[in-house]
Amino acid sequence: MDGREPWRMTPHEFAATEGALNVPRGSILALRPEAITREALSRYPSAELQALAMVLGIPHSGTRAALAERILAACETRRQLATATVGQLKKLPARALRRWLKALGRYAPASRYGLAAALVGWRDRCRAEGRAALARANHYRHVRHAVRAGLPVPEEVLACYPDLTAAGDPRPLFDTDTDLEIPQSEGRP
């Protein structure tokens, strides 16, 4: 970090820091991909399932059961696509590629190349957007803790979160002070 507390930074400044991708211990986001099972998901409230769905880049509405099934399908797809290239995927049956895209709630192009490119594009977008969503959630958490503690949060930072006040907070996600750093790797879905 640049020496300032995270709650004194704008979301953009915070996203560029080392701690932006840390997740709270016990959070659903701290689960390793292979540990995401029906049983594991059943221990988390709907709000955390929705947060994971947002990070995974899949629809985050619906019943808890439907959300859990979508998360499991997306995690399995991400595991299978972790290191795949368009060239490798276009060798697979078009039916299998369409099934993956349908499970992800994505449009299925007509050609096999288009199907493969759509899957690789989804995977790459999910990685980038998931990291950005995690950084935003972490920054929000830091700012929320500062507001609750009565610390002087800069106006430009508070302007990024108009729903955040000392009296009420509509987003109860990631409510812990203990972070667990998640190592990033290219092969990780």
Domain boundaries, the chain: 23-173
Catalogue the E-assigned strands of 21-120. 23-24
pLDDT string in tens for the chain (189-residue length)? 467 899 999 999 999 998 898 887 888 888 887 889 999 999 999 888 988 888 887 888 889 999 999 999 888 888 888 899 999 999 999 999 998 898 878 888 989 999 999 999 988 988 888 888 888 888 988 898 899 888 989 989 989 988 776 554 544 444 444 444 443 433 434
What's the CA gap between 165 and 181, in Å, rounded? 28
Tell me 170's DSSP state: S
End-to-end CA distance of the chain: 26
Residue 51's SS3 state is helix
Q: Is the pTM of this model over 0.85?
A: no
Residue from 12, 28, 59, 2 nearest 156 by CA: 12
Q: Measure the CA angle with vertex 159, ends 155 and 164; round to 5°.
A: 100
